[in-house]
Structure 1
């Protein structure tokens, strides 16, 4: 379900992979954050039949700087060199805002993770995006 929605939505917009690489890593993280959030919400709505308040509380387990930092550390060995470069660019990007509820290192690593998700989404690499998202929610 999620894959079909995202894939169809992405088809409405045309951007070459080389143009995606030219985007600022915080721009990649901006769209990656939204894609990841939709993935998590979709997973929870489908798998956990409960009220909105509980869905929100469950989503926090996945959608926070510490959790996303942990994900990127856990999956880094499964990333291609290009993907690792995107993560590094996202992690090293200077943000105008500081995290309120996270350590700066976790915040930066989570930004790298979000940049990766944004990169895969914008390059329309849906198979790889699905693979990374599934790895992201796997229990260790």
Structure 2
């Protein structure tokens, strides 16, 4: 299992966890990473922090970020992305089209998978690379 900073592990092996559940934890992890990133930037007031974070965590932004990262992904990661993209979440996107929403879910699924398989360095590398490419 992962070397998590929090002592709770998933109730079953990662390979048996639904892609939607991996996306659920991946969403939270990515949100924290983005908040840390925007706080690291100089001179941002709270309302600017929120706007900057929202610009990186929206389904539209995550979909774009996934597209930018695709050339860097391994075959294993592409397989996880495919599973996440094809997962039926049961929710209807509010501020994104269905394709963007599915790609965002796929990205979040990958983050959750990397987290729970103890690949935090790879997870950090992809998040950092994606944010840097989005900010250009």
TM-score greater than 0.5 by the shorter chain: yes
Q: Equivalent residues in 2 for 1:36-51 (5 A)? A: 36-51=30-45
Is structure 2 residue 63 aligned with structure 1 residue 66?
no
1:115 to 109, 113, 134: 109
Aligned equivalents of 1:116, 1:95: Cα separation in 2: 15
Q: CA deviation at 1:14?
A: 4.3
Aligned length: 132
1:9 aligned residue: 5
Is structure 2 residue 71 aligned with structure 1 residue 80?
no
Is structure 2 residue 134 aligned with structure 1 residue 135?
no
Alignment RMSD, CA only? 1.8
Aligned equivalents of 1:68, 1:37: Cα separation in 2: 11
Q: CA deviation at 1:44?
A: 0.7
Aligned equivalents of 2:52, 2:96: Cα separation in 1: 18
Contact kept? 1:15, 1:123, Cα under 8 Å: no
Aligned equivalents of 1:122, 1:49: Cα separation in 2: 34
Aligned equivalents of 2:9, 2:59: Cα separation in 1: 30
Closer, same or farther: CA 104–47 of 1 in aligned 2, 3 Å:
same
1:32 aligned residue: 26
Q: CA deviation at 1:101?
A: 0.6
Is structure 2 residue 87 aligned with structure 1 residue 125?
no
TM-score (norm 2): 0.89
